[in-house]
C-alpha cells in the first residue's frame, strides 16, 4: 500500500491499474498456455480482481482514503469470502469461526473510528466494494479447482486491461495516462513494475 500510494503520486488511478495488469499479462502470454479453466472462470476472475478490486481500491486511494486504512479495510474480503461460501457453496460456520469473525469485525470497526482527516465515506465504500470483489474472486478461483495459478493470473489479467483503459479514458481524460507515463520518474516506474511483477505475479 505504501508502493501504491507512491505510484498514485505520478499516475492517475485507472491508468496505473491498466499499466499494472497490462505488464502482468501481455508480455507473458507466449510463455503460458491457457489454464485448464473455462473462459467464464478466467474472464470473471480477471474482471473481479482487476476492475473490481484494484480499480475501485486505487480510485479510493487517490484522495479518498489513507493507505493505512485502505490496507485494513481491504481485508474485510475475508468476511465477504465466508459469506459467499455460505450462500453459494452451503458451507457451515462453527462457533469458533463466528467468534473469530466477530473479533475481526470489532478490530475493523475500531480502525474505522480513527480514520483521520484523509478518509471520506466514499473512500470507505469504494474499498468495501473492492473487498467484496476480491471475496467473489476467491470463490471463482476456488471453484475452478487445481489449475496452474500463474497461468490463471497471466491470462485473467488480460481481461482487466481494456475496462481499466476505458475507465482511464473516460474518467481521467484521453491523454492523462499517456502524459503520466511520459513524465513519470524512475521511482514512479519502479512502483508500476513492482505492482505488475512483485504483486500481481509473485504475490497472487
Q: What string of pLDDT tens digits covers the 204 residues of the chain?
A: 888 888 888 899 999 999 999 999 999 999 999 998 899 999 999 999 999 999 999 999 888 888 888 888 898 888 888 888 888 877 788 888 888 888 888 887 777 676 555 667 888 899 999 999 999 999 998 888 788 889 999 999 999 999 999 999 999 888 888 888 888 899 989 999 998 888 878 887
Rounded Cα gap, residues 11 and 53, in angstroms: 18
With 0-12 / 13-18 / 19 or more C-beta atoms within 10 angstroms meaning exposed / middle / buried, residue 7 is buried
Rounded Cα gap, residues 2 and 20, in angstroms: 16
Instruction: In the chain, count H helices and then E strands.
Output: 11, 0
Q: Write down the residue that cell numbers 487445481 correspond to.
A: 146
pLDDT at 160: 95
Helix (H) or strand (E) holding 102, with range, is helix 95-112
Rounded Cα gap, residues 203 and 83, in angstroms: 24
pLDDT at 131: 94
pLDDT at 81: 87
Classify residue 19 by its DSSP letter. Answer: H
Classify residue 65 by its DSSP letter. Answer: S
Rounded Cα gap, residues 71 and 115, in angstroms: 12
Q: How far is CA 93 from CA 86, 89, 97, 150, in A?
A: 8, 12, 6, 31
Best CA proximity match to 8, nearest among 88, 17, 194, 200: 17
For 97, the grid coordinates are 469461526
Amino acid at each position: 500500500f505504501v508502493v501504491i500510494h507512491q505510484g498514485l503520486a505520478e499516475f492517475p488511478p485507472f491508468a496505473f491499474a491498466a499499466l499494472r495488469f497490462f505488464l502482468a499479462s501481455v508480455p507473458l502470454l507466449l510463455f503460458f498456455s491457457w489454464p485448464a479453466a473455462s473462459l467464464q472462470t478466467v474472464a470473471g476472475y480477471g474482471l473481479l480482481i482487476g476492475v473490481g478490486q484494484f480499480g475501485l481500491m486505487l480510485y479510493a486511494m487517490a484522495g479518498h482514503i489513507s493507505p493505512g486504512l485502505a490496507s485494513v479495510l481491504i481485508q474485510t474480503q475475508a468476511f465477504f469470502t465466508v459469506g459467499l461460501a455460505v450462500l453459494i457453496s452451503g458451507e457451515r460456520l462453527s462457533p469458533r469461526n463466528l467468534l473469530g469473525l466477530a473479533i475481526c469485525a470489532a478490530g475493523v470497526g475500531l480502525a474505522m473510528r480513527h480514520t483521520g482527516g484523509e478518509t471520506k465515506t466514499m473512500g470507505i465504500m469504494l474499498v468495501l466494494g473492492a473487498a467484496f470483489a476480491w471475496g467473489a474472486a476467491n470463490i471463482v478461483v476456488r471453484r475452478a479447482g487445481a489449475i496452474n495459478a500463474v497461468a490463471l493470473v497471466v491470462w485473467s489479467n488480460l481481461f482487466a486491461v481494456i475496462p481499466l483503459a476505458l475507465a482511464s479514458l473516460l474518467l481521467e481524460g484521453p491523454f492523462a495516462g499517456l502524459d503520466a507515463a511520459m513524465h513519470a520518474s524512475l521511482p514512479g516506474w519502479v512502483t508500476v513494475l513492482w505492482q505488475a511483477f512483485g504483486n500481481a505475479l509473485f504475490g497472487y
